[in-house]
Amino acid sequence: MKFVDEVSIYVKAGDGGNGMMSFRREKFIEKGGPNGGDGGDGGSVYIEADENLNTLVDYRYTRRFLAPNGEKGGSTDCTGAKGEDLVLPVPVGTTVIDSSTQEVIGDLTKAGQRLLVAQGGWHGLGNTRFKSSTNRAPRQTTPGKPGDARDLKLELKVLADVGLLGLPNAGKSTFIRSVSAAKPKVADYPFTTLVPNLGVVSVDRYKSFVVADIPGLIEGASEGAGLGIRFLKHLARTRLLLHLVDMAPLDLSDPADAAVTIVEELTKFSPALADRDRWLVLNKSDQMLEEEREARVAEVVARLEWKGPVYVVSALAREGTERLCQDIMNYLEARAERAAENPEFAAELAELDQRIEDEARARLQALDDQRALRRAGVKSVDDVDEDDFDDEDDEDGPEIIYVRD
């Protein structure tokens, strides 16, 4: 199944049915009066969170969704049939945005949650509605109102408690395989992971949390290098970030430089996301001697000026992973308990979450704008070089501007 986390669609609610102008015509009944019925309401468009879906691929190629119109009214005071509502299922964790205004219409974070995105048109009135003591034979009717139409952008952010960060081949997929039942692809070349993977980690019989593994970042990812930074949005709803660093890279690169690179790219994407609680996890410890391992850990901690928790593990050999998972579970429980007891702390967390959402959306919109300009062959202000401006005039005299008729 193809993983799709961003789509643009067009939705149109049904128009209301027109009212009917009709008069009663029966034998032996004179002046039967008006009996035109009202039209039916147009169908509305809803978006509903479905826990059985995990991708927006259904909206990749079919992008126009039209709800049925209401039927027009009938004679003998018959009301037209109402158009059926159109319900579009999406994965849990989908954000619905109005493309024209960039307004967030809603965030579907619970299974079964339903969001109205286009209201059906109101029905028209038949001439029966206009009869009165002074207007015995009204010929007035009203047409049905048009239904709402919108261009929408759907963004999927996976729901996870813990997110994994790191360069390609840092061992993120191996880690999630060792602590959960998830089986993402693992290989000895970069960018093995192309889409986010989720794994449920069971610490105790009734205690578990969800880990999200996203594709690796490289230097320049904020400018589109590698797979870019678009997948970082999936970490916006996590409660804790694990920064995985390869202690023994095959290319003999400096692990400290790799750690600094990830922090820089994370900060460029969203400074607020960089403020999220983050733990340093030094992976592949089984490939180093103990003395060399301690020196490497000290070097990375010093380069990052790290003050938070540090874990040295081997995901492949499952050394240190059990303790790490237990500490994560304790942290999540303590965090939830503190948020429930301390309203100020809960407000701080909500403010941070909102900042991350806003910064991530602004960054992704800026990337989309730059991509649109490149397709149109236009340079953005940030891409214009000094060589594009010629401040020196080769010849004296007035400036001549040529205008094409």
Annotated binding site for GTP: 166-173, 191-195, 213-216, 283-286, 314-316
User: Can you tell me which residue has the tokens 């789509």?
Assistant: 7
Residue 186's contacts (CB-CB under 8 Å, 6 or more residues apart) are 173, 174, 177, 192
Q: Which of left, alpha, beta for 191 (phi over 0: left; psi -120 to 50: alpha)?
A: left
Q: Give the rounded distance of the alpha carbon of 76 from its chain centre.
A: 50
* Cα gap 337→239, rounded to integer Å: 13
> Across the strands, what pairs with 45?
86, 118
Binding-site positions for Mg(2+) read 173, 193
Whole-angstrom distance, CA of residue 5 vs CA of residue 353? 20
Name the pairing type of β-strands 207-213 and 162-165.
parallel
Determine contact, residues 97/152, Cβ cutoff 8 Å: yes
**∠ at Cα 62 (226, 17), nearest 5°?**
145
Residues 33 and 23 sit within 8 Å (Cβ to Cβ): yes
Residue 83: strand pairing partners: none
Residue 310 DSSP SS3? strand
d(CA 254, CA 250): 11
* 398/275 Cα distance (integer angstroms): 56
Partner residues linked to 96 by β-bridges: 106, 154
Binding residues: 166-173, 191-195, 213-216, 283-286, 314-316
Q: How many CA atoms lie within 13 A of 11 on its CB side?
A: 28
CB-based contact 159:179 (threshold 8 Å): no
